[in-house]
Structure 1
Amino acid sequence: MAWTRRYDEAEPQRVNRWLAQNGVCSRREAEGLIGQGLVSIDGERVDDVGRKILPGQILTLSDRAEALLEATLSVVIHKPMGVVSSQPEGQQIPAVRLLTRETLWGEATTIPGSANRLAPIGRLDMDSRGLLVLTEDGVLAKAVIGPASEMEKEYLVRVAGEISERKLKQLRHGLQLDGRQLRPARVDRMGGQQLRFILQEGRNRQIRRMCDLVGLSVVDLLRVRIGPLTLGDLPEGRWRPLTQAERTALLSAPAPASQRES
């Protein structure tokens, strides 16, 4: 079914800009769709890439436009320890090497190959495991890890050391890394030595360094969620394609309230 949406803003806006703001595609992609005659307003084809949509008008992308946007490959991996997200050094194993027919979980129309340029959105260091997304989709990457993104990432972390309320309070508020204040984090004790972290940023080895600052050592770190996307029952070392519904959910995920539950 063709993508259709009513324009309810107060002022006219260029079609390509509005589509980009809604996370449908980039401005350049929108211009390409317009150039191919795949965009219409109130049933009339849009031919001018500078065309503005007016309040109350209805914009529609054709089925072919949606198919073109969906052709960009994105995959979900349960990354094991010992595998790097990207840019391997020496004998390190990059996550893309896991994308084989033998490690596929479920079905896929395409098995990624050398022609695909898949990059991680939200890296996991080599010593961590769990949910990792690789994509060719620049719009998706911007939504998840762009400078304006506040998308939550959730981790289950097993630590060594004494867990106290003082340390939990420090982890939630007040820590600095590299001379910069960290955003507030949700940190809950799940039982025993396991903590749950929910972050809205992704500094290099952030959780490990946060724990070091309060005298805790990370024994195991598992990412289980990125925004609305969860690891679910995907086995370790396996992968599957990201579905269109999951892409749409990631692009339309609202920014969470600022730590109401911290």
Structure 2
Amino acid sequence: MSELGLCSRREADEWIAKGWVRVDGKVVSELGTKVTPSQKVTVERQAAAEQARRVTILINKPVGYVSGQAEDGYQPAVVLIKPENRWEEDRSPERFDRNHLRSLVPAGRLDIDSVGLLVLTQDGRVAKQLIGENTNVDKEYLVRVEYTKPGRLPDSELQKLNHGLWMDGKPLLPAKVRWQNDDQLSFTLREGKKRQIRRMCEMVGLRVVGLKRVRIGRVKLGNLPEGQWRYLSPDERF
């Protein structure tokens, strides 16, 4: 079901437990049931209706908030999602409901010292698209840096940031890295190892002094103010 793009694996488990999944017309109630490619998997309308009610929220995360669970005394970004922090220019017709905070998980993380676009979703399909093993959704960051050596970063080192660096014993996927202005780089990545950009910069003698995620796929941070949030609109796709 997950491979067919019907739902996430977690949602599939929930739907099977509720009797909403059929194989060749027969209800499947046992998790892990084997299905052959020739068999037809269908789901009840209740599943689609429940999935349609699940929301995805975009927030401009400030420094000092963690993406997921609270840790080391720092609050999670989800605490900012309350009516008074909703962006007044949000064009989504969705009305805020406390149920929108249930099972809301980050689809990709930003470390505590970084700001910018953070996606929180109840929809397993969105989470899989953004952080699944085979994701091809790129993410763009603006990174303010200082060169820790005399002079300016050589072009050869900039090329290494684009392709050629290794991390955790494996080569990094090709990236798109270019100068945005004299002290700011634009990074576009299709992977997200822990503190990857900061570690990449350290490898070529750069120190990161500011990092902001400005785009995930086709969805941009835009003018969303820091600390405020909005719903992903029905017509938006990553």
Report the TM-score when normalising by structure 2: 0.79
Give the structure 2 partner of residue 147 of structure 1: 133
Give the structure 2 partner of residue 70 of structure 1: 52
Distance across 1 between alignment mates of 2:153 and 2:218:
29
Distance 1:245 1:22, change over 3 A: farther
Residue 212 (structure 1) aligned with residue 194 (structure 2): no
How many correspondences in the alignment? 221
Give the structure 1 partner of residue 74 of structure 2: 92
Distance across 2 between alignment mates of 1:61 and 1:87:
32
Secondary structure of the corresponding residue to residue 166 of structure 1 = helix
Give the structure 2 partner of residue 10 of structure 1: none
How big is the shift at 1:117?
A: 2.0
How big is the shift at 1:124?
A: 0.2
Which range is displaced more, 83-92 or 144-153? 83-92
Q: Which of 1 and 2 has higher RCO (CA within 8 Å, sep 6+)?
A: 2
Report the TM-score when normalising by structure 1: 0.72
Identity of aligned residues (%): 44
> Which amino acid is the alignment partner of residue 245 of structure 1?
D
Distance across 2 between alignment mates of 1:126 and 1:80:
8
For structure 2, the 5+ residue unaligned runs are: none
Distance across 2 between alignment mates of 1:232 and 1:160:
26
Residues 63 and 115 of structure 2 are in contact (CA less than 8 Å); yes or no, is this contact kept in structure 1? yes
Distance across 1 between alignment mates of 2:117 and 2:101:
24
Residues 187 and 197 of structure 1 are in contact (CA less than 8 Å); yes or no, is this contact kept in structure 2? yes
Give the structure 2 partner of residue 222 of structure 1: 212
Cα deviation 1:217-247 (Å, max 9, x = unaligned): 111111011112111221111011223333x
How big is the shift at 1:190?
A: 1.4
Distance across 2 between alignment mates of 1:94 and 1:21:
31
> Which amino acid is the alignment partner of residue 132 of structure 2?
G
Distance 1:112 1:220, change over 3 A: farther
How big is the shift at 1:114?
A: 9.2
How big is the shift at 1:142?
A: 1.3
Residue 134 (structure 1) aligned with residue 116 (structure 2): no
Q: CA RMSD in A?
A: 3.1
How big is the shift at 1:48?
A: 5.8
How big is the shift at 1:52?
A: 9.4
Residues 23 and 143 of structure 1 are in contact (CA less than 8 Å); yes or no, is this contact kept in structure 2? no
